[in-house]
Amino acid sequence: MTVSVLVVDDSGFFRKRLTEILTASGQIKVVGAATNGREGVELAARLRPDVITMDYEMPVMDGISAVREIMRSNPTPVLMFSSLTYEGARVTLDALEAGAVDFLPKNFEEIARDTSELQKILIQRILDVAGSRPGARSSAPVTRTSPPVPRPRTSPPERPGSAGGAAVRPARPLAPEARREPAAEPVRKPSRKTAARHYSVVGIGTSTGGPVALQKVLTTLPASFPSPIVLVQHMPASFTPAFAERLNKLCRIEVRQAEDGDVLRPGLALLAPGGKQMMVENRGGQARVRILPGDDRLNYKPCVDVTFGSLARSFPGKTLGVILTGMGADGKEGCRLMKQSGSVVWSQDEKTSVIYGMPMAVARAGLSDEILPLEEVGPRLIEGAH
């Protein structure tokens, strides 16, 4: 089965280039192209693509407005293309909040060094995004007892997801098996709720879908939240300052990008800078952040495993690790170290995850003390504050 893609961009050169790269894979079919957001909305409703690629600056209707309209009328996974600038970061974060799943730099030279690498990255990202759940971040309440909205199918069942209250969509072909998570033991929910207690530090790791998920969790916390928080979000270096500023404006706790030597303190959330690694050292009863150059041997910069491993060493038995939505398995080994030290681990559930990769890896490894819907993470953190 092929993945159908709609390309929305006002640049004829970019539409042509992207179409050539995606079509060459044999796994993806570009079913249409639009020159502005309004055309994109109309073609999305008519063509029902599996994925939409979207520029943000276009005539008639901009990309953010188009994403909002598509999510309102015909929820579809959207991959944004943006510039790696502060303004590009701000706009991209707006697009993610509007419902876009993920983003890539529009300048192909910023993505890869050569054509073959570029093709591999673009194709894999499209396949990954095709497996996302655009309704998972809906503001509509999610309950444990309500089953997912059924979707007509003409092929084997997909993993269950949340339709976010949207109308049921006609059946569409599944993406190729290459984009699916490998078969493994099913996730078994822990049978009991961990006792609410105060933690010396809370670590939260996430990737795709994380900006909106973090915003949802952190905005619930009071200014008097008694534990320091360290945040690891897979994000380029040019984006993390804008993301930290955005969270700080929306939250009652203080949020800022971490700097080398920062002291952990209650009510402060420190975001790992993009392109680098963040570790925590606890010496003489005072915990400080260490910011280190990104190691090319690690796929992720920042890496959840690196940060969580340092928390396990610095606060044995006194850390809460939380893994939210994201591709891949980053965080699993860090959570393993936390568990070995006697600490507690939570992971987001499948239904509310945009991409159920990172939390699934933790849950399948038997490391999750609790598997929670996104909207329960903040309240459960607050329980431990009292």
Q: Are 84 and 221 members of one domain?
A: no
Q: 215-226: per-residue pLDDT in tens? A: 999 999 999 999
Residue 234 designated active-site: yes
Q: 269-305: per-residue pLDDT in tens? A: 999 999 999 999 998 779 999 999 977 777 899 999 9
Pairing mode, if any, of strands 319-323 and 201-206? parallel
Catalytic site residue from 330, 347, 368, 369: 330
Q: 48-75: per-residue pLDDT in tens? A: 999 999 999 999 999 999 999 999 999 9
Catalytic site residue from 55, 162, 234, 369: 234
Sign of the dihedral defined by the CA atoms of residues 105, 111, 115, 120, in that order: negative
- Note whether 322 and 304 are within 8 A (CB): no
Q: 377 in a domain, yes or no?
A: yes
Average pLDDT over the chain reads 85
Tokens of 376: 């329960």
Residue 207 designated active-site: yes
Q: Are 256 and 359 members of one domain?
A: yes
Q: 141 in a domain, yes or no?
A: no
Quick one: how far is CA 211 from the chain centroid? 6
Catalytic site residue from 132, 138, 200, 207: 207
Q: Could you give the CA distance from residue 358 to residue 129 in angstroms, rounded to a whole number?
A: 15
Q: Are 215 and 334 members of one domain?
A: yes
Q: Which residue has the higher pLDDT, 154 or 227?
A: 227
Share of the chain above pLDDT 70, in %: 82
The CATH number that applies at residue 268 is 3.40.50.180
Q: Could you give the CA distance from residue 39 to residue 60 in angstroms, rounded to a whole number?
A: 9
- pLDDT, residue 111, reads 66
When pLDDT is averaged across residues 124-136 and rounded to a whole number, the result is: 85
Sign of the dihedral defined by the CA atoms of residues 30, 32, 36, 41, in that order: negative
Tokens of 184: 């493994």
Q: Are 210 and 358 members of one domain?
A: yes
Whether the bond between 266 and the residue before it is cis, its omega within 30 degrees of 0, is: no
State pTM to two decimals. Answer: 0.84
Q: Which residue has the higher pLDDT, 254 or 191?
A: 254
- pLDDT, residue 144, reads 31
Tokens of 31: 């079913």
Q: 153 in a domain, yes or no?
A: no
Least confident stretch, 150-164, 174-188, 252-266: 150-164
Residue 254 pLDDT > 70, yes or no?
A: yes
Q: Which residue has the tokens 């419902």?
A: 99
Q: 167 in a domain, yes or no?
A: no
- Note whether 103 and 78 are within 8 A (CB): no
Q: 138 in a domain, yes or no?
A: no
Q: Could you give the CA distance from residue 103 to residue 101 in angstroms, rounded to a whole number?
A: 7
Q: How many domains does the chain have?
A: 2
HSE, CB side, 13 Å, CA atoms: give it for residue 267: 7
Q: Are 208 and 115 members of one domain?
A: no
Share of the chain above pLDDT 90, in %: 70
pLDDT band of 135, cuts 50, 70, 90? low
Q: 33 in a domain, yes or no?
A: yes
Q: Are 271 and 373 members of one domain?
A: yes
Q: Could you give the CA distance from residue 203 to residue 269 in angstroms, rounded to a whole number?
A: 9
- Note whether 168 and 151 are within 8 A (CB): yes
Residue 198 designated active-site: no
Pairing mode, if any, of strands 286-293 and 276-283? antiparallel
Q: Could you give the CA distance from residue 359 to residue 347 in angstroms, rounded to a whole number?
A: 5
Question: Where in the sequence is the domain holding 313, given as residue range(s)?
Answer: 201-383
Q: Are 89 and 213 members of one domain?
A: no
Domain stop point among 86, 107, 130: 130
Q: Could you give the CA distance from residue 120 to residue 144 in angstroms, rounded to a whole number?
A: 38
Q: 243 in a domain, yes or no?
A: yes
Residue 191 pLDDT > 70, yes or no?
A: no
- Note whether 255 and 218 are within 8 A (CB): yes
Residue 43 pLDDT > 80, yes or no?
A: yes
Q: Could you give the CA distance from residue 49 to residue 43 in angstroms, rounded to a whole number?
A: 9
Least confident stretch, 82-91, 170-179, 180-189, 339-348: 170-179
Domain stop point among 95, 130, 165: 130
Residue 314 pLDDT > 90, yes or no?
A: yes
CB atoms within 10 A of CB 113: 8
